[in-house]
Each structure stands twice: as structure tokens, then as C-alpha cells.
Chains A and B, each alone.
Chain A
């Protein structure tokens, strides 16, 4: 029996972003002995970077808004591939979850009446995003963090979960290591909630941080749980492009929500040339109508700059390919000629600051260059909508790591709402499951010993490869071959390349000792990066159509047959299998919402 640190809990939450914190608060409130384990310091998770806001049909700005409209927007944005029940629960419950944040101390921007203010965002019919300037994620994470701390929930910071342990088919524990000391920790637990976020570090140009190595996706898959929709990766249309060191850093969609427009090198507002049929009835077709819309949403249709993200990212890509891009391969985002400098600084303070300090660019003075950046993964752990339960007993998933809610494309603002709604549901369900479980599940000590031995192997090898170069090659492969526009031959090439990298990764060597050693951490992270990369590429190869965050050059149209199924990834022995599983069927009373003309 390994001589390592040990803890016992009912519920272990992996991740301290919005989803993990909200889940832990609920599990704790339901009476479960709860721990939060996260690989960064508390308060630094990705959620802190969210800018624009939380989508919730509170009706504070447009009283016409309600959950049905939000539900419809979400499903349309996801090209109807969403798990309808998740989209429904999200639309119904998000307003209460936002008010709850206020109850816990969050200070949102206000309307004239003193209520929570709401802003416009792409794909949302009404101004719907509750926000705090352009630092909504910071407000959310700080509020939840302060709440969790005041409840006295145990937090294990800079502690990375390496593998889940099962007893027969159900969850029994999690093996982790402290980043600081490199020592291992065993959590024996009845339930695990994965809230680990996304996979963006598999791509070269990304708005995501080092944490986004797909750990939760991989932990679930390795434990036998299903993943769905892994081909759907969102490229946000507006990332910074210059200078090279800031390439990929996000430029919030609020710049467009607050009046910014896209122009090509000829000065043309090109989005009018890219309005797809499905959105034609709700999108303005003249600049005059688009400009009137900001003040009058009822009698005008939305500007095409606010189409869902997949549409805008593809349009930018096409303009650049057609030779109408900017010097550094992007297009222009122009808010300077459309809003006063004062207004811009007040509404978008951190964008102003970010460009000023990192690029020497004053966004209030001139248009600036932007281009697509890898931003979000719609695919993830297959969950039951009401409980966030995965297909493995005792394993739950919420937030970006879960699949289904956003279908093939996520609308801006729908992630933060998702974290709260399903974080809470996961916490409740996991606590209930743990309470109903009689005996503690058993942890096989020999398995733990073996996992630890394997994890330390990179120290024992010599002359192997540097993990940083492997990560770089992987990012390059995914960027070039599995990016915004995909095609059969390139995807096949990518799958082969990932396979070769996997072989080479077995041979990486790390220098130094176990104490806070980023080289070793990366060597371990490579396993999950390679696992999710393979899943994305293989799902992308199978789906022979274009839909949302998945565009095939060789199959440019949507295919009604593919509208009925999710690609479902499952481990069988050492192999990974992908099957097409029918979508859950939407009840008739919800179907009728899509028959009315869009209003």
C-alpha cells in the first residue's frame, strides 16, 4: 500500500471554475462532505476570463423576453443538435441563478430602474446578458469563491487529478498530485463531479490557458463514460492577431454587441454578404436597418455582425482567403467610428486596456485587426439533462466539460448560465447519490501503486524527447488540419500524425526533480491532450456534413440525416469506438415554438 496522503469525501469536485464552485456549494448545502480540487490557485480558473456576460431571460431591458425565446435562440444557434432538455432547463433556470449570485454579493451593472442591466450578444433575440462591464467572469468567480470559502468547503489548490479509480463499474476515488511537491494524494469518494473546462490548448491559436488540456474529457473516457459531439469546436470570430505574442487572446463579442462592425481591407461591411437562409428573416439586409436596431429591436432586424459565432468566423476566414484581409491576416473591427471614446471606455474598459497595453492600439481612435481563435468545445461528457450524471454511476459532469447543451455551436453568454444551472444540478444529484450509497466503494491499492509508478516514468528515462516540442507539434497539427475548415484527406493525415505523436509521447524525458516541475506536468498533460485531439479528429472525419462549429470543405451542406444523431465516443478495451446515437426527441409542445415565424 503506497505511503501517500489520503482523504475521504462523499463528493469530490474536480475544478474550481463557475461550474465546480457552484456544484460544490450545492453538494455542501445538501449535506455531503465535499472537497474542491483544482490545478491552479483558487479564483484563477478560466471563468475569470469571461467578459461579456451571463445569458438569462430576466426581461429587465426587454419585457418581451422569456425562457421560450431564449430556448429557441439556443436551439437555433446550436443548429438543433442540442439536447433539448438541457437547453430548456438552462433557459428556465438561468434567471434564478443570476439573482442568487446577487444574493451572495455580486454587483451587476444596473438599469435606470435599478435592476440588473442586460446587453446584446450574437444570436440572442433580446438584450439578455447580465454583466459587469466586460469582466463578468471575474465577478462570477469571486462571488462563488467567497461563498464557498464562507461555507468552509475544503479546497485543494494546485492539486491535479491524474486518474479516476473505479470499483467495478462505479466511481471509487481520484488519484491526484500536488503541483508544488509532486507528491500523490488519494481521494476516496463516493461521487466525482468533473468541472474541468475545455480542450483549447490542443490548438495553436487559442483564447484558452494552459489548464485547457482536456483532462476531464479524458478522465471520463478512460473510466468508460461516453463523450458526445467532439467534432464541434468553436472558433471565436474575434481574437487579437498582432503582435504575434498576443495572437489568439479574446476580443469580447460585446464590441459588436455595443455597436462595433466588421470591415475588410476595402472598407466594406462584408457580413451583409454572408447572411445564411435560416437567419435571413431575422437579420437586417441594409446598413440603415442594422444601425437602427440598437435603439429599436422591435421594428428592425439584427445586424449581421451579430449572427452566431460559427457564421461570423467562417465569413472572416473567407474574406481573408479571398485576399481582402489585413496586413497580418485578419479583418478590421471598427467601433471607433461608431461610438464616442467615452462610451467605449465605459462599456469596454478591459478591452481598451488590453489593446493599449499589449498592442499599443487605441480602440477608440481607429479600427483594429482581429481574426478567429479557438475558444470553446461544445462536445463533452454525455450527461443526463436533469442530474448531470454521466453514463458511469457516481460520475457527474458540468460546465464546458459536459456535452449536449450547446449542440453544434454555443451562443455567447450561454456558457456562464450553463455553469450555474448545471453546476447546481450536478451538486444536488451527486450528494443524493452519495447519500443513497450504502458502503464505501473499494479502492484497489495495487492499481494506485501502478498508476503512481507509471506517472513517474518520465523521470527515469533519459535521452527522450522534450514534452514542450511534442505539445507544439500537436498544436500545429490540430491548427492546420482540424481547424475551422476541414476536409477528409487532412483529417486522415491528422489522425495519423496524432497516433505518431502518441508513440513519441511514451518516450518523453523530464529534467530536474518532482517539486513544481512544469516539464513533468506537461508530460502528464500530453496524455489527455492527445486523447481529446484524437477524439475531435475522428468525430470530424465521420461527420460528413457542415453544421455549426464543424465545417467540411468536401461536404459544405447540412445533411438532414446527420441532424438526427450525436457522434458518441466510448472506450472499448484499448480502442476508442465512435457510434451514431439518435438525439433525444423533443416533445411536440416545444416543437411548435419553431413553427411560429421568428419574432
Chain B
């Protein structure tokens, strides 16, 4: 089974660009990335697109499909209205390099600013013991495949380039919560989250949570608890200290 479809793919570079229309075949069961690859192999050899795993595991193939931020390899062609053109554009929040490829270095710079994990000493026999239920909270956040779709939709940086200086975005604020909730970690990154990485900017709109392909509850499980910790730390230091001692004990 195969159909002709019309794909409107954004093409261009740092100097600008626009949508190009391609009439292309789509076969049974295919995803958007398959069709983009067919365009590349048969009509536009130099069409730039990132991908690696084609199974939703590496987070390389993020784009805006019919305006919605998604992974191209996990978006099936059968989900679209037959006969309607499908638009594929690069993520808007990051500068375009070429075609569907954007410059995501902002994210790698933010990652560098978060101090590393610093564990407490192991148990007397050299091993480390943690209960499954205690590791699960941080494990949820470690499912992140760094597709940066949440970064792409968050209005704090999507609509305000100037905020990129002092707002790390949901992915990296979540990383701070992950370390905070790690049963072995002894670090304190709460002042950093508040003063430099911008947790106060987040007004819990949950747009990030909605687009996360890993279905991580970014806002409810990571950002709101982080905000609470900031409040405790600054305005109720006793509660904060109590929580820290209980956790590390």
C-alpha cells in the first residue's frame, strides 16, 4: 500500500529560507522521517536533517510538524488527514543551521553550568544501598532523551531571546531536581536554580510536559517541587535543613 503525499519542508540556512513542496510516496506504516529520507534520497540529496536511532531513543530528530513539536521518527504518516499537505519545519527556539537542522548549543552550554553529582561515602562494606522507591523519583527524569522539544516550546525562551542568558529551560531545571532527589547526592544547587538558572521565570504553564516524548511529568514532578524547595530554602530554612538532613542521613 502506498500513497502520494505533499510535504512542505522548510529549506534554508542562516540567511533565511522558506517552505518547499515535494510530492512524494508514503508507504504503509511509515513515519515522517521515512518520507523525509525518501525526499533526500530521490529529490534533494543535500536536504539536512538529524537522526540516529529511528526508534525514539536518541532525541535527534526533533522538528515542528504541522506546527506541533515532535520527533519525526515517532510521528506516523497515518495520523494525518489524507490529501492535506504536511509541513515540517525546524525547531523555532534555536537558530537554524540548515534546513531542519538547528544550532542547539544553548543546551550543551547550560548543561556545563550545573555542578556535578557529588555522592556521600559508601556503606561500610564499600557498597551503596538505595531502595527502589527512592531511586524511582530521579529515574523518571533520567528517561530524558535530550530531544530539547521542551526547551523549544517553553515561552520563556521561545518568545524572548534575551532570557536565554538566565533561564536554563525545563530540561536543565529538571536536571537540578533530579540531583536534588538523588538519594546519594550531597550538593546544594538551589541558590543556582534561583539566582542563575531562572526557576522563578517558570509560571507552570505545562507546555513542556505536553510535548515530552518520554511522557515525563516535567512540571508536576520536577519544576513545582523545585520551586517549593527554593521557597523553603529562602523563606523557611528550618524546613529546608530538616529535609536535607533526613535525606542524607
Residues of A at the B interface (CB closer than 8 Å) are 40-46, 48-49, 99, 102-105, 107-110, 113-115, 132-133, 135, 138-139, 142, 146-147, 149-150, 157, 180, 209-211, 242-246, 249-250, 350, 353-354, 357-359, 466-469, 472, 510-513, 515-520
Contact = CB atoms under 8 A, between A and B. Distances in A.
B29 interface: yes
Interface string B32-66: 00100000111011111111111111111000000
A244 B60 contact: no
Given A40-B52, A41-B50, 17 more contacts: A44-B53, A105-B117, A109-B135, A113-B129, A114-B129, A138-B57, A138-B145, A139-B142, A142-B144, A209-B54, A209-B58, A249-B55, A354-B56, A468-B45, A515-B13, A515-B98, A518-B40
Interface residues of B, number: 58
Contacts of B98: 180, 515-516
Given A49-B57, A243-B28, A244-B28, A518 B49 contact: yes
Contact of B74 (A102, A357, A467): A357
A466 B45 contact: yes
A557 B210 CA distance: 56
B55 A510 contact: no
B126 to A, nearest CB: 8
Nearest to B33: A245
A363 to B, nearest CB: 15
B60 A41 contact: yes
19 contacts: A40-B52, A49-B53, A49-B57, A103-B119, A107-B142, A114-B130, A114-B131, A115-B127, A135-B57, A243-B30, A244-B29, A245-B27, A249-B55, A357-B74, A468-B42, A512-B45, A515-B48, A516-B101, A520-B46
Q: Is the interface of B mostly helix, strand, loop or mixed?
A: loop
B46 A353 contact: no
A48 B53 contact: yes
A350 B74 contact: no
A105 B182 contact: yes
Nearest to B115: A150
B218 to A, nearest CB: 16
Given A511-B46, A516-B48, A358 B139 contact: no
B143 interface: yes
Most buried by B among A46, A133, A249: A249
B97 A245 contact: no
B111 interface: yes
A246 B185 CA distance: 40
Nearest to A248: B54
Contacts of A519: 40, 45-46
A203 B117 CA distance: 41
B104 interface: yes
Contact of B139 (A44, A132, A472): A132
A517 B48 contact: yes
Contacts of A209: 51-54, 58
A180 B97 contact: yes
Contacts of B108: 41-42, 157
B135 A110 contact: yes
Contacts of A110: 130-132, 135
B76 interface: yes
Contacts of A358: 29, 31, 55, 74, 76
Contacts of A157: 108
B142 to A, nearest CB: 6
Contacts of A249: 54-55
A135 B179 CA distance: 19
A513 B99 CA distance: 13
B35 to A, nearest CB: 9
Contacts of A518: 40, 45-49
A267 B55 CA distance: 29
A469 B130 CA distance: 53
B138 interface: yes
A41 B116 contact: no
B99 A138 contact: no
A510 B29 CA distance: 30
Contact of A40 (B34, B60, B138): B60
Interface in B70-108: 74, 76, 97-99, 101, 104, 108
B128 interface: yes
A150 B60 contact: no
A132 B143 CA distance: 10
B232 interface: no
Interface string B184-217: 0100000000000000000000000000000000
Nearest to B47: A518
Contact of A107 (B28, B99, B111, B182): B182
A149 B45 contact: no
Contacts of B55: 49, 246, 249-250, 354, 358
Contacts of B116: 105, 146-147, 150
B112 interface: yes
Contacts of B50: 40-41
The 9 residue pairs across chains A and B that have the minimum distance between CB atoms: A243-B29, A519-B45, A114-B129, A512-B46, A105-B117, A150-B116, A468-B41, A516-B48, A516-B98
Contacts of A48: 52-53, 57-58, 145
B58 A44 contact: yes
A12 B132 CA distance: 39
A41 B28 CA distance: 31
A512 B47 CA distance: 9
B132 A246 contact: no
Nearest to B143: A135
Nearest to A157: B108
Contacts of B117: 104-105, 146
Nearest to A103: B119
Contact of B112 (A103, A132, A149, A468): A149
Contacts of B119: 103, 105
Contacts of B112: 149
Contact of A510 (B45, B127, B131): B45
A107 B142 CA distance: 8
Contacts of B44: 511
A468 B44 CA distance: 11
A438 to B, nearest CB: 35
Contact of B52 (A44, A107, A350, A467): A44
B184 to A, nearest CB: 8
A468 B57 CA distance: 25
A468 B28 CA distance: 22
Contacts of B59: 43-44
A211 B74 CA distance: 20
A228 B227 CA distance: 56
A410 B105 CA distance: 37
Given A139-B142, A210-B52, A149 B111 contact: yes
Of B27, B41, B55, B98, chain A has the most CB atoms within 10 Å of the CB of B55
A104 B185 CA distance: 10
